[in-house]
Structure 1
């Protein structure tokens, strides 16, 4: 596995990630008023390290993200990567740490989903657009 990190091929997403990294989280942590972190996963087939900015919430010491993929029919690639290798690198502002990822259980999800919709109301619209159950992911610092 290379130390090199690949950002999204989507221009504005890659620009957000680079600004976040270059400013050590001073710029980009709040994106349109919503807190964001950088999640770096390892590609399950390619082995390439991929970095994605994601809106987050908190649950105690853990960070909570939503695998919405904008309401697309498929889960985002980062989620598929975490299912195979649940260890990831996370940056929140200037803090970088290793986290273990897991999908919220059926019992945990309703409260976490409400919290995340409270942070980013569009998640509810995304869920209405797709037949898949959008996962909520808990990132616990290792």
Structure 2
């Protein structure tokens, strides 16, 4: 089995940033669908969710597999709009800014959530925890001029 450090090193490369966005989400969606939401391929190394957000312009549901950092015993999750260290913010971040109510699928369970963009001191404190959780985020941030968006998703009533 490939070690976490090897995966972190590979995921920090520019080559990975060019290829992964075209391969990883599709594989994740396919495995997630085939297992009825119980398995997310990328979550074998990092906790993950499938985010269903509302398209900022289209208003249509958009499903995106994402790594997450769970918080508070399972009632909130941190998502980073790293886009694998690419120059633009990922589309799902625009969707959450326009429509903060969303749903995540985690281990076969759909959970209604509300997204909050973290800023200032709160973002800085979470960012430090994120760098311990997944060190490649530092490389992604160094590669781009934009500040990576960090969201906290909190469970909302069904």
TM-score normalized with structure 1 length: 0.84
Larger radius of gyration: 2
Aligned to 1:140: 154
The total of aligned residue pairs comes to 134
Q: Where in structure 2 are there 5+ consecutive unaligned residues?
A: 1-20
Aligned to 1:121: 135
Moved over 4 A (4+): none
Aligned to 1:54: 66
- In 2, are the aligned partners of 1:68 and 1:123 still within 8 Å (CA)? yes
Q: Which has a greater percent of strand?
A: 1
Q: Where in structure 1 are there 5+ consecutive unaligned residues?
A: 1-8
The one of 21, 39, 49 equivalent to 2:51 is 39
- In 2, are the aligned partners of 1:101 and 1:138 still within 8 Å (CA)? yes
- In 2, are the aligned partners of 1:57 and 1:115 still within 8 Å (CA)? no
TM-score normalized with structure 2 length: 0.77
CA–CA distance in 2 between the matches of 1:134 and 1:72?
10
Computed over aligned residues only, the root mean square deviation of the Cα atoms, in angstroms, reads 1.8
C-alpha spacing 1:105/1:126, structure 2 compared with 1 (3 Å): same
